[in-house]
Amino acid sequence: MGYPASNIEGVYRNHIDDVVKFLESKHRDHYFIYNLCSERSYDCSKFHNRVRTFPFDDHNPPKIELIRPFCDDVHTWLTKDPRNVAAVHCKAGKGRTGTMICCYLLHSGQFVTAEEALNFYGQTRTQDRKGVTIPSQLRYVNYYASFLRDGLDYVPVSLYIREIIFEPTPCFPGGQGYLCFSISQQTIANAGEHSQKCVKLFKSGVYEVRKGSSSFVIRLDQCMPITGDVKLEFYNKPKLGRKEKIFQFWFNTFFVRNELSIQDTTTEPNGHLPENGNGVTRNVHSKALVLSLMKNELDIVNKKDKQNKVFSSEFKVTVLMHKVPTKNPGPPSWLVTPTFHQETRQDTPSESSEADTSEDEYNDEDDWDSVLEGEDVDPRGIGYRLLSECDLASQLAHTSADQQQQELLTA
């Protein structure tokens, strides 16, 4: 259902008094309300405090660890008494609500596949059969289906993003675009609670994108660990004009499993390729984990670029990642650790000095419930210092294991 609102908002949404009257008349003593809104709440005493909150942000998927507790709670309530009902709501009662209801339909065994659950919800909730439409929310329903189907136990996985590839190159107005992006990660806001927050870990410089090439590659010389639920947001930031979000997507690192063998051309701090002990350049091969998403699997872009003017219908984003080393004596030369003494690395000199003054605005509740940018910026993610292999070797030679870890965290 939609949000039980009051005052003027109650005129065009479900008025909270009407919701109370309905539930009390139809399901007295046998209803429980599940509020998925992170942005607001209401007087729960109107419902005799039979309200539980599993909050996550509008037009985003839930944190992966939030889904099973929600499903367990709903299942416990519904199986306690055959007369019990669960009323699940977000703001418009479609995207976030549908995501969690579809996960519960899978959890309770009513459907086996994500597609079946999503189709049922779309047919039942809407006239046009468009229930859950945001690609990242669809992705997380499929994630939960995989958990149940394969009997998986979730263990957070830490990865490094090394490259981001656009194929084919976007065709921005005027034939030239100024691309920048950010990396954010979901965290638990308060220990022991279901609340969560989105922490921005990294903001890139601006990359000049010109039409004519078959692909556009962003190589991250400095890498940082990402774990769990991660969001990549991409913007066009022209020298004159507002910064515009062109697309975003969420994924969970646990589900990045496709491997690709690639040649590692990472350079040493002196700019040369690494050499072996005989002074011969090493031909280094490594296994990269690959996440590839087609245009229809990206958020926002399909609504803003329906005519495929900027992004081809065959547009694809590929993210190459590596697992965080666990058994090496020290991190590889491309690892970065936080520092408080320098600004975020700028990848190209073309970044505009204009402040970020705009975020994407999407107010169509048929597709997006609303836009809520409640992101915190991680103070440790403002700058990074690249540690060379020599630096690491020196540290390893003169410090104990505990001291090494402390220095890497505070360097």
Would you name the residues annotated as active-site residues? 90
Residue of 77, 49, 52, 94 whose CA lies nearest to 367: 94
Residue of 235, 227, 299 whose CA lies nearest to 58: 299
Structural contact between residues 5 and 15, judged by C-beta atoms closer than 8 angstroms:
yes
Distance between CA atoms of 89 and 108, rounded to whole angstroms? 19
Residue of 197, 194, 195, 174 whose CA lies nearest to 184: 197
In one letter, which amino acid is 278? N
Q: What is the 3-state secondary structure (H, E, C) of 304-355?
A: HCCCCCCCCCCCEEEEEEEECCCCCCCCCCCEEEECCCCCCCCCCCCCCCCC
**Residue 30 has which token pair?**
């046998």
Residue pointed to by tokens 């491309």: 334
